[in-house]
């Protein structure tokens, strides 16, 4: 059962709704869905991520892998440790995390690297949301204030990266374009227009409307192999691809590990997925209406990993591996970490079966195929790094891209 919205939430959402209405009016009554999604998630002070919505955790709208406990972070720390030690140490001394959410992943990675005496010179956090940057800072200040000396928050990346870049559930939060196949089998952009009266508050003022012209040829060409039917709707992550190209360009030595839910293009544009992959999260309920409660709900789209691969190739990165989350975490020793958590916690006290069950629950959620194990994938790239990454020891489905 969903909690009713309070007055503050209603006022917040209505203010953002008004801003989006103004933008649409200023653009002759139509904007691309990517512009709508950008406003809904990132409009300064009002968007879902940039405003004060609770977002993560039991009291929020959804939880992510780092919030389930320490195992995910410990495994990623093992991957960071491998890159930091194998890459020429005088050059590779940074961990760079994009979209750090609550900051729990950063805290766990740093704790685990410290145990291995491998703290990086610098942990750089690239986070667009000022609200989340503050939450991350608070978490570190209350849990491990000494880490503040090596953590640096930044809004944009200007420098070359030497070390490892990580991003968990970042790509799915980058605005996408949406399209529909028209009667001439051409992909036509689906955008957002307004009902007659934008001031009417009981109903959503937003409606889907397709563009007057089909998409440019490059988009038609890449969709052609999938022989999509008239009426087929889906997304295309042009901004996420541009992000991969630009961050990839900045990677000088080391690796980049991206974790998200999605598929290779042949599965992404499968007949069964003819409504697309847009998904919204509100109070732990998933639905597909992005126009509901602007600013109060998360909006995401699955990731086309073939397109991510192609973007990285254009940045001249080497593909280091592609696999599902379950095998990535298994390869990075999630079962050993499970034992370490239990043994570590039981020092000098009786190990409770409750704790053991809790940690086992984490493993199930992170690795079982019907939980996050199969839908979530990991793709990694490298530059000037000639070693295989441990995360792909058990499985590498690079050929599926
Ligand atoms: C779905 S949350 C994932 C948070 C966290 N990585 C986790 O796994 O819990 C997406 C995060 O990416 C941030 N974000 C979105 N676009 C970004 C960008 N271009 N650069 C940096 N951070 C971004 C959001 O503010 C948010 O913190």
* Residue range 346-374, pLDDT digits in tens: 555 555 677 788 888 999 999 999 999 99
Closest CA to 332 of 66, 80, 78: 78
The CA 169 to ligand 1 mean position distance, Å, reads 7
**Is residue 134 within a helix (H) or strand (E), and if so which, with residue range?**
helix 130-143
pLDDT average, residue stretch 125-153: 96
203 pLDDT more than 90: no
Evaluate whether residue 3 is within a structural domain.
no
* Residue range 238-267, pLDDT digits in tens: 999 999 999 999 999 999 999 999 999 999
Evaluate whether residue 343 is within a structural domain.
yes
* Residue range 39-63, pLDDT digits in tens: 999 999 999 998 876 777 777 778 8
Evaluate whether residue 32 is within a structural domain.
no
Question: For a pocket test of ligand 1, which of 62, 170, 366 has the largest count of ligand atoms closer than 8 A to its C-beta?
Answer: 170
Question: For a pocket test of ligand 1, which of 101, 174, 259 has the largest count of ligand atoms closer than 8 A to its C-beta?
Answer: 101
End-to-end CA gap in the chain: 40
The CA 101 to ligand 1 mean position distance, Å, reads 6
The CA 143 to ligand 1 mean position distance, Å, reads 21
Evaluate whether residue 336 is within a structural domain.
yes
Cβ atoms of 400 and 273 within 8 Å: the answer is no
> The pTM is what?
0.95
**Judging by DSSP bridges, how do beta strands 279-282 and 285-287 pair with one another?**
antiparallel
200 pLDDT more than 70: no
Evaluate whether residue 396 is within a structural domain.
yes
How does the average pLDDT of the chain come out, rounded?
92
Looking at residue 25, its pLDDT comes to 94
Residue 311 sits in a domain whose CATH number is 3.40.50.12710
Longest dimension (CA), the chain: 72
Looking at residue 201, its pLDDT comes to 65
Evaluate whether residue 183 is within a structural domain.
no
Ligand 1 atom closest to the CA of 174, numbered from 1: 16
> What residue numbers bound the domain in which 125 lies?
65-174+237-400
Looking at residue 269, its pLDDT comes to 97
* Residue range 89-107, pLDDT digits in tens: 567 789 999 999 999 999 9
| Total number of domains constituting the chain | 1
The CA 178 to ligand 1 mean position distance, Å, reads 21
268 pLDDT more than 70: yes
Pocket-forming residues, ligand 1, beta carbon under 6 Å: 49, 64, 66, 98-101, 105, 126-129, 132, 168-170, 173-174
Evaluate whether residue 330 is within a structural domain.
yes
The CA 379 to ligand 1 mean position distance, Å, reads 17
Evaluate whether residue 140 is within a structural domain.
yes
């Amino acid at each position: 059962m969903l909690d009713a919205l309070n007055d503050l939430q209603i006022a917040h959402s209505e203010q953002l709704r008004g801003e989006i209405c103004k933008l649409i009016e200023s653009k002759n009554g139509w904007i691309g869905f990517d512009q709508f999604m950008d406003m809904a998630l990132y409009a300064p002070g009002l968007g879902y991520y940039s405003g004060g919505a609770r977002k993560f955790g039991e009291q929020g709208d959804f939880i992510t892998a780092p919030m389930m406990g320490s195992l995910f972070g410990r495994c990623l720390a093992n991957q960071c440790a491998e890159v930091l030690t194998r890459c020429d140490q005088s050059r590779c001394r940074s961990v760079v995390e994009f979209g750090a959410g609550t900051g729990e992943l950063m805290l766990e990675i740093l704790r685990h690297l410290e145990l291995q005496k491998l703290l990086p010179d610098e942990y750089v956090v690239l986070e667009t949301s000022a609200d989340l940057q503050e939450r991350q800072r608070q978490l570190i200040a209350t849990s491990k204030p000494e880490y503040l000396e090596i953590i640096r928050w930044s809004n944009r990346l200007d420098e070359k990266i030497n070390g490892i870049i990580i991003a968990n559930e970042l790509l799915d939060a980058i605005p996408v374009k949406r399209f529909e196949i028209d009667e001439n089998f051409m992909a036509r952009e689906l955008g957002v227009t307004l009902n007659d009266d934008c001031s009417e508050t009981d109903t959503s003022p937003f409606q889907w409307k397709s563009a007057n012209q089909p998409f440019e040829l490059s988009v038609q060409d890449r969709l052609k192999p999938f022989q999509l039917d008239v009426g087929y709707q889906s997304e295309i992550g042009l901004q996420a691809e541009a992000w991969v190209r630009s961050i990839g360009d900045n990677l000088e030595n080391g690796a980049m590990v991206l974790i998200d839910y999605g598929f290779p293009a042949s599965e992404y544009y499968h007949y069964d997925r003819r409504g697309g992959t847009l998904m919204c999260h509100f109070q732990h309920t998933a639905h597909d209406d992005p126009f509901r409660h602007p600013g109060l709900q998360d909006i995401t789209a699955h990731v086309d990993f073939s397109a991510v691969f192609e973007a990285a190739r254009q940045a001249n990165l080497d593909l280091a591996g592609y696999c599902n989350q379950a095998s990535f975490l298994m390869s990075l020793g999630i079962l050993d970490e499970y034992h370490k958590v239990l043994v570590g916690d039981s020092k000098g006290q009786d190990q409770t079966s409750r704790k053991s069950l809790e940690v086992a629950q984490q493993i199930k959620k992170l690795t079982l195929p019907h939980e996050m194990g199969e839908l979530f994938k990991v793709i990694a790239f490298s530059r000037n790094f000639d070693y295989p990454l441990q995360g792909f020891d058990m499985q590498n489905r690079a050929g599926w891209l």
